[in-house]
Structure formats: C-alpha cells, structure tokens
Amino acid sequence: MTNEAERRPGETSITLPDAYDAGLYFIGRIRTPWARRKDCPRNGLQSDETCTIEVDPPFAAALQNVEGATHLIVLYWMDKAARDLVLQQPRHAEGSRGTFSLRSPARPNPVALSVVELRRRDGHRLVVHGLDCLDGTPLLDIKPYFASTDSRPEARVDRADLKAEPQDP
Ligand SMILES: C[S@@+](CC[C@H](N)C(=O)[O-])C[C@H]1O[C@@H](n2cnc3c(N)ncnc32)[C@H](O)[C@@H]1O
C-alpha cells in the first residue's frame, strides 16, 4: 500500500482485490551494493557495479547450461514497492502517468526485469552486470536473452511531456 504521506500530487491509488490469483516461489536473492532505494541506479546500465544472483539450492540444478548465454533476462520482485498506484507522478514529468506506461517499481504486481551480462557462474551464484535493485531483492526467474528475437531496435517511447532530465528506465 502507498503511504498517503509519500503520495505526490496527481497520483492515484486503488483498493486492491481481496485475493491473489496466483502463487510464486522466490528462487533466490539478488546481492547488490545498494541498501537504500535512492542509492540504486535507475537502470542497470547506469552503474558499473557487478552484482551476484544467488539461486537457492533446490533450484540450483536449473542453472545447468546457463553459461551458454552471454546475456540473461532476470525477473525479480520489488518487495519494497507500493502496489496500489494506477497513476504516478514521475519526478521529471509534467503530469501524472499511468503505471503501465512506466518502468517504476510501483505496480500491482511489482515484477522488475533487467537484461544482464553474465560475467561468470560460481556454482549456484551468477556474477552479472546490469542490475538496479536493493540488496536482498527476491529473485523470480532467469531466462536467456536472444538478441535475434528479444531485440527491437526500432522501438521508441514518446517523451514529449518530460522536462529536461532524461527518464530512461
Ligand atoms: C526504475 S526501477 C526499474 C526496474 C527494472 N529494471 C525494470 O525496468 O523493470 C529501478 C528502481 O527501483 C527501486 N528499487 C530497487 N529495488 C527495489 C525493491 N526491492 N523494492 C522497491 N523498489 C526497488 C530503485 O529506486 C531503483 O532505482
């Protein structure tokens, strides 16, 4: 839930449904240098730091062959994010924007994704570059990144309403 005191003018929250529709397993944790949200990069390319993805032992066998990929898609759970915001006021935008038009961690299902470069695997640990989350953030899934099918070089996002500072995710 959003703390009312933290809500910015123009932001709108909803009452969330009473029950969940699905369950998830946290399959590990992400180890990063960042203990506070304000210290995290806004996206994984804004930092040179390497981070470690620690996969829990029951799931470690699923890492077999993962070294075959230079880059991975990592899905993780933004456990400190509000879940009830449908309109948000990004710091550098003129007006509020719909949650699904943003890469903000605040969303009904706070699933985050990053494409990371795999530097090496040490057993059940993956050392990667390209993450932006708090230390201890729960890990949901890992998939190989296929440039041939995942890359869309022609993709654009209209930034006409943004103030001077760029707002890449
Ligand atoms: C803009 S989001 C982008 C996340 C992901 N790369 C994506 O596009 O889905 C990254 C920001 O989320 C915030 N954040 C990081 N870890 C978090 C966590 N565990 N819970 C809530 N917010 C978090 C930090 O402020 C960080 O700069």
pLDDT tens column, 16-30: 999 999 999 999 999
| Over residues 116-123, mean pLDDT | 98
What's the rounded Cα separation, in Å, for the pair 101 and 83? 15
Question: H-helix or E-strand containing 148?
Answer: helix 147-150
Three-class SS state of 58 = helix
- If you average pLDDT over every residue of the chain, what do you get? 93
Is pLDDT at 164 greater than 60 in this prediction?
Answer: no
Task: Tell me if 139 CB under 6 Å of ligand 1.
Answer: no
Task: Tell me if 112 CB under 6 Å of ligand 1.
Answer: yes
Residue-level pLDDT at 169: 65
Nearest atom (ligand 1) to Cα of 137:
19
Residue-level pLDDT at 89: 95
Question: H-helix or E-strand containing 114?
Answer: strand 111-122
Pocket test for ligand 1, best of 39, 88, 133 (most atoms within 8 A of CB): 133
Nearest atom (ligand 1) to Cα of 169:
1
* pLDDT tens per residue across span 46-75: 999 999 999 999 999 999 999 999 999 999
Is pLDDT at 99 greater than 80 in this prediction?
Answer: yes
Task: Tell me if 82 CB under 6 Å of ligand 1.
Answer: no
Is pLDDT at 91 greater than 70 in this prediction?
Answer: yes
| Over residues 83-103, mean pLDDT | 94
**Encoded tokens for 22:** 């699905």
Q: In a 10 Å sphere around its CB, with 0-12 CB exposed, 13-18 middle and 19+ buried, how is residue 73 labelled?
A: middle
Task: Tell me if 80 CB under 6 Å of ligand 1.
Answer: yes
Local confidence band at 8 (pLDDT 50, 70, 90 cut-offs) = confident
Pocket test for ligand 1, best of 1, 37, 80 (most atoms within 8 A of CB): 37
Task: Tell me if 37 CB under 6 Å of ligand 1.
Answer: yes
What's the rounded Cα separation, in Å, for the pair 97 and 107? 12
More confident of the two residues 3 and 89? 89
Residue-level pLDDT at 158: 86
Residue-level pLDDT at 42: 96
